[in-house]
Amino acid sequence: MDMKSLIADFSKQMREAVNIGEKAVLTAWPHEIRNILVTGLGGSGIGGTIVSQLCEKELKIPFLVNKDYFIPAFVDKHSLVVVSSYSGNTEETLQAMDMALKQGAKVVCVSSGGKTSSLASEHKLDCVTIPGGMPPRSCYGYSSTQLFYILHKLNLISDAFKAPLQKAIALLDAEEENIKRDARSLAEKLIGKIPVIYSATNYEGVVVRFRQQIQENGKMLCWHHVFPEMNHNELVGWTTKHDEVAVVMFRNDDDYFRTAKRMDICKEIFARYTPHIFEVHSKGQSQIEKSLYLIHFGDWVSWYLSEIRNIDCTEVKVIDYLKGELAKL
């Protein structure tokens, strides 16, 4: 299935992901869980970042995301480590998984197969299997949804996420054509530009996802930052004309009022140095709905960038080259 079809089927993927989550069975753990670590990279890891922000108002224990070969020393029998590797063969994640096992953590895997699933079977670990054969970045719905269910089934969060997920699916179906129209319009304006993406801090995972999609699907460099942190460093970098830069601001009606005011003021500052400033306003009532709306919108923007630029959005030859060179070690 091509990337366009995969993006178009996002709400269908979410429905399938909910069914997988509902049916997942996790074994009991004899120790109190005092912290959570999701380890995964790229399209497999971004779900951890986003879900950690979506659960931060309910979770009573720390939730961290690891994107490296190594895991923190605090991980022990009181830790839940979710190993998220879509392919099941991500070398950094496999090494982190080995460390988590040695440090005695409760390890739960989310994967479509590969070595991760094999190791899960070997060590008798809980493993939630999701459909395989697709680019990891196109399977955000499958992997991220399982994180909610894993947390819920281990009694770390309530089932309050379920209704917003269903409402988000309905919202995406209702808004699909509008999202595609607005996404194409923005993509056309980003051609030949370097996108700089901003949001409030609690939506940082969403803008990281957007940045990743522009980079992988659109084959374009870009960067992101968040408010209010960027007001204490990056803002000072806005001192000269940058006609090649296009600012994209993700806005939400639940942004903290002082943060929203900062964004309004900074729009005026940015306008002194670039004429290309665009705002994307989320839709939905809950943070889950708003986040999924913006994620889907960003995915469509990234695909339209590849279409307009007439490039293959699915190829990742430079990553394949990197892996080939690493295999020589």
Q: Is 216 a catalytic residue?
A: yes
Residue-level pLDDT, tens digit, the chain, 329 residues: 799 999 999 999 999 999 999 999 999 999 999 999 999 999 999 999 999 999 999 999 999 999 999 999 999 999 999 999 999 999 999 999 999 999 999 999 999 999 999 999 999 999 999 999 999 999 999 999 999 999 999 999 999 999 999 999 999 999 999 999 999 999 999 999 999 999 999 999 999 999 999 999 999 999 999 999 999 999 999 999 999 999 999 999 999 999 999 999 999 999 999 999 999 999 999 999 999 999 999 999 999 999 999 999 999 999 999 999 999 99
What single-letter amino acid sits at 283? K
The active-site residue, picked from 232, 317, 325, 328, is: 232
The pLDDT value given to residue 328: 93
Kindly provide the residue ranges of all beta strands, DSSP E only, lying in the chain, ordered along the sequence: 35-39, 63-66, 79-85, 106-111, 126-129, 194-200, 223-227, 245-251, 277-281
The pLDDT value given to residue 1: 76
In 10 A of CB 158, how many CB atoms?
Answer: 10
Under CATH, which number does the domain 177-309 receive?
3.40.50.10490
CATH of 3-160 among 3.40.50.10490, 1.10.260.40, 2.160.10.10, 3.30.565.10: 3.40.50.10490
Positive or negative: CA dihedral 131, 136, 141, 147: positive
The active-site residue, picked from 115, 216, 225, 283, is: 216
Q: ∠ CA 38-39-44 to the nearest 5 degrees?
A: 95
Which residues in the chain are classed under CATH 3.40.50.10490?
3-160, 177-309
The pLDDT value given to residue 317: 92
Prediction pTM value: 0.96
Between CA 257 and CA 269 the distance in angstroms is 19
The active-site residue, picked from 31, 102, 281, 323, is: 323
Q: ∠ CA 70-133-182 to the nearest 5 degrees?
A: 90
The pLDDT value given to residue 139: 95
For residue 152, give both structure tokens: 């819920």
The phi-psi region of residue 130 (left if phi > 0; otherwise alpha if psi is between -120 and 50; otherwise beta) is beta
Q: Is 232 a catalytic residue?
A: yes
Between CA 224 and CA 89 the distance in angstroms is 28
